[in-house]
Structure formats: structure tokens, C-alpha cells
Amino acid sequence: MRIARDWNGEPDDAMIALHARRSAAMIAAFAASGRPVALVLTGTDLYRDIRHDRAAQRSLALARPLVVLQTQGLDELPAALRAHATVIEQSAPALAPGTPRRRTFDLLLVGHLRGEKDPLTAVRALARLDDAPSRRLRLIHVGGAHDEALARQMREAAHVDARIELRGPLAHAATRALIRRGRLLLLPSLIEGGANVLIEAVTAGVPVLASRIGGSIGLLGADYPGLFPTGDDAALATLIRRCRDEPGFLELLRAYCARHAWRFTPQREAAAVLALAHNLLARGRAGGAPAPTSGNIQP
């Protein structure tokens, strides 16, 4: 098995491709060779590209099986293709919860600055909140600047509110160490296929406040008490206040997250990926890329 950014005609027996639109040309070329292709669908695939992009729709027609990263993702696929899809949840090694700072109540916002991540909802929520007498709120962002206009807005917000700390991109180990010492992970995204950072928080015993989108519902459940409407900074501020001021509510969220942690073990993910690879290779030996689906694939 090898990991590559591009496929240039190498004699591989099977392909597992990531991204319906970005990998469309490679998927088409590999499928044309008669060898099997599986396609892993990300958030931008499921919740944007396959709805209108012809190249992404063509990838859906050529690849078997389709892989989504959380159960709700199945509902985003065209009905005719759901029987050809499987769920493989991502994982993170479990970490013992760290000891949070006593003088601050740390809110973690982890992810590169892109519009889909909607970090400004977290900034606006913080602006609605005053500090408790004994504890100061602190919003810590980790990630690079993939959108310079958004990065400028975050720098301006940090200049106005000293409680915002912009750490920039950190090594993965340093980011996980920061997460495990946080009080809450904030995930205000507009689109997520199944956020790995959510899984990293859950497997470190850190509760999550997440926007009510398919990617987060698929991992935490529709009844998770820490969900809020996308872009609703007032609702997020209310949840943050409850977590800070009501220890019982914070523990309720922690207990909900702990119920899901067993699903996100590296052993479970590795077994699922190996099964996928073995099935692809077996189909290849049997002579098996799927026949292209006629016409456009529409959700």
C-alpha cells in the first residue's frame, strides 16, 4: 500500500481516492483501466460539490464503494447509491484528560482559517460574555491562515479582545496536548464531513460545543445537548455560560461524549480500512470495476 498525491499510471491494483471533485481526473483514469476505485467523501464533497459539480457527480458514478465518515453522511447521497456506501469513522489515540488552568476557562478553536470553519461565530459569542469573578474566559485558536481576509478579521478581533489568543499552526502533538487541557472544544463549522478534531477532543475527555450540522450530528447524535444552530453566536454564548457556571451541565456533556469514545479507536478504524482494501483487491482479481452509472448523479 502506498499514499500518493497523484496517480500517474502506476500499476496499482486498486485505488482509495479522497475528494470527489479534486480527485475526479484520477478516479476517471483509474476506473477506465478496469481496476476498482473506492471514494472517501469529505464535508465539501457531501454538503456542496456533489450537489452541483459535474466532475464530483461523475466520481460518484465511477467509484464503488463510496465511504462516508459518519452515519448522517449516507443521507446526503443519492438514494440509488446508498446501498453502495459504507461508514468508516476516523479515530484518535485516547489520552487521559489534562489538568485545566484554574484561573481561566479555556475555549479551544482548532482548524485552519477558512470560511467553512466559521470561527467568527466563536468570536462573536465570546464578545457576548463577561468574565466570572474568579475565572477569565480565554478563546485559543490553533491553525494556519488559509483565508487571508478571515485571518485579518481574527487578528483585529484579538487586538480588541485580549481574551483571544492566536497560536497559529502548531505541531499535531502540541495541539492535542492543548486540547486535553482545555475546558471545551468549539466547532462552529458550516460544513464538516466528520471532524477529526471533534474525535480528538472526545478521546481526550474534553466536551464539545458544535454547530448543528450533519457532520457533527452523525458523530455525536441529534440529542447531544451541546449543539447550536449554525452561525448563532447567541446560542453558543448561552452554552458556554452554562458550561462555565453549571458544573453539572459540563459533566453531562462529558458523559455524552464518553459514550461515543469507543467508536473512535485506531484499532477500529484500521480494521475498517483494511477490510475496505481487501474487498477492493478481491474485486480486482475477479475483474471488477463497476460499470458507470448512466446520466448525471443527482442527490
Q: What share of the chain is helix, strand, coil (3-state, %, to 5)?
A: 45, 15, 40
For residue 297, is pLDDT > 50?
Answer: no
Q: Tell me which CATH homologous superfamily contains domain 104-263.
A: Glycogen Phosphorylase B; (3.40.50.2000)
Whose CA is closest to 37, among 10, 54, 18, 22? Answer: 18
CA distance 35 to 253: 46
- Overall average pLDDT of the 166-176 stretch: 97
With bands split at pLDDT 50, 70 and 90, how would you rate the model's confidence at 5? confident
- pLDDT of 27: 96
- pLDDT of 4: 83
- pLDDT of 135: 87
For residue 178, is pLDDT > 90?
Answer: yes
Residues 237-241: contacts with CB under 8 Å, at least 24 apart: 237/125, 237/126, 237/128, 237/129, 239/209, 240/107, 240/125, 240/126, 240/129, 240/137, 240/184, 240/209, 241/129
Amino acid identity, residue 55?
A: A
For residue 289, is pLDDT > 90?
Answer: no
Whose CA is closest to 73, among 122, 36, 111, 20? Answer: 20
For residue 211, is pLDDT > 90?
Answer: yes
In a 3-state reduction of DSSP, which class is residue 37?
strand
- Overall average pLDDT of the 193-216 stretch: 96
For residue 137, is pLDDT > 90?
Answer: yes
- pLDDT of 296: 44
483494511: which residue's cell? 274
Largest CA distance in the chain: 69
Which H/E stretch holds residue 67? strand 66-68
For residue 294, is pLDDT > 50?
Answer: no
In whole angstroms, how far apart are CA 17 and each of 2, 99, 268, 283? 12, 40, 20, 16
CA distance 55 to 225: 38
> Which of the residue ranges 175-179, 182-186, 290-294 would you say has the lowest mean pLDDT?
290-294
Q: What is the pLDDT of residues 229-270, one digit of tens each?
A: 999 999 999 999 999 999 999 999 999 999 999 999 999 999
Angle between helix 233-245 and 119-127 (nearest 10): 60
Q: Where are the domains of the chain?
A: 15-91+266-285, 104-263
- pLDDT of 288: 55
The pTM of this model reads 0.90
Q: What is the pLDDT of residues 140-157, one digit of tens each?
A: 999 999 999 999 999 999
For residue 181, is pLDDT > 50?
Answer: yes
Q: What is the pLDDT of residues 110-128, one digit of tens each?
A: 999 999 999 999 999 999 9
Residues 6 or more apart whose CB falls under 8 angstroms from that of 251 comprise none
In a 3-state reduction of DSSP, which class is residue 187?
strand
Contact (Cβ atoms closer than 8 angstroms) between residue 105 and residue 137: yes
Where do runs of H (alpha helix) occur along the chain? Answer: 24-32, 43-44, 50-52, 54-62, 119-127, 148-160, 172-180, 196-202, 214-220, 233-245, 247-260, 266-285
What is the separation of C-alpha 272 from the centre of its chain, rounded to a whole number of angstroms?
18
Tell me the torsion sign for CA atoms 80, 85, 89, 90: negative
Whose CA is closest to 90, among 190, 170, 13, 203? Answer: 203
For residue 299, is pLDDT > 50?
Answer: no
CA distance 193 to 238: 26
